Amino acid sequence: MPINSEEPRSADLPRGVHRVNVLGVGISALDLAASIAAVGDAIENRKKGYICVTGVHGVSEAQSDPEFRKILNAAFLCTPDGMPMVWMGKLGGFRDMDRVYGPDLMLEVFRWSQNRACRHFLFGGAPGVAESLKASMESRFPGVQIPGCYTPPFRPLNESEENVLQDLVSDTKPDILWVGLSTPKQERFMADYLGKLDVTLMIGVGAAFDFHTGRVRQAPKWMQRSGLEWFFRLYQEPKRLWRRYLRNNPLFLGRVFLQLTRLRKYRLEE
């Protein structure tokens, strides 16, 4: 087994899905098609869990936050959202591993659910974004079922808001709850609320809500595939993102060098 890979964690992971150890975070060694198959199996067999789409930002956040690292490693899937995750997987021997980008995962899951009894709930975004996304998805994928939306405040839910969300989810009975917040906020939410909400899967897709409603432009495909999407997003939102990218990216490269040269061992904890 290559130095940065692990056997499947336990029976709660999709069968046959290995993980790549990226600085102590277990990234699922799969591609988009395998991710859709895992989602379909979880929905059809009621395997409760949450899915994190994880790139350099998430892995970097986990370096200084052990609790967040545990959240990522407890996920049903932790998909390779960024190309550096894919490159690490290929170095580890997983030649078929490919990027599972949050916005693409969302579209393909909706496409998969068009003619199935799968219900969706949209949680996140600025006021009006979830409703706009609902309309967009219903137009793009006729037949999809999106019975509920909820726009949370930009802070943790209070008891009253939590009760409202629980009642909405109970009434609408979704199979998938899409979480459109930011990392690490959305991952913490999913870990905290998985046991509180009557839903099978929670999937955190970050900026996908804004991308699919046209509020934010996506990087060209060539930039996505070459690992330069961060540069495009930095150009769009320099005030918000400059600290994230200009600090995290060099640190990530340095840490990866230490891992690959075995100068430092990053333990993959359960």
Q: Do 262 and 3 form a contact (C-beta atoms < 8 A)?
A: yes
Q: Which amino acid is at 8?
A: P
Residue carrying the six token digits 């899937």: 77
Share of the chain above pLDDT 90, in %: 71
Share of the chain above pLDDT 70, in %: 88
pLDDT in tens, 218-268: 767 776 676 777 666 766 677 777 677 777 888 889 999 999 999 999 988
Query: What structural domains and CATH numbers belong to the chain?
Result: 1-100+238-270 (no CATH), 102-216 (3.40.50)
pLDDT in tens, 11-35: 456 666 899 999 999 999 999 999 9
Mean predicted confidence (pLDDT) in 40-53? 95
pLDDT at 131: 95
Mean predicted confidence (pLDDT) in 176-189? 94
The rounded distance, in Å, linking the Cα atoms of 270 and 268 is: 7
pTM: 0.88
Q: Look up residue 181 and give its DSSP letter.
A: -
Mean predicted confidence (pLDDT) in 106-116? 95
The rounded distance, in Å, linking the Cα atoms of 121 and 125 is: 13
CA angle 257, 262, 265 (to 5 degrees): 100
pLDDT at 238: 73
pLDDT in tens, 67-105: 999 999 999 999 999 899 999 999 999 999 999 999 999
- Tokens representing 257 are 């060098």
The rounded distance, in Å, linking the Cα atoms of 257 and 235 is: 27
Is there a cis peptide before residue 184, judged by omega within 30 degrees of 0?
yes
Least confident span in 39-48, 126-135, 233-242: 233-242
Count other C-beta atoms under 10 Å from residue 182's C-beta.
14
Residue 26's SS3 state is strand
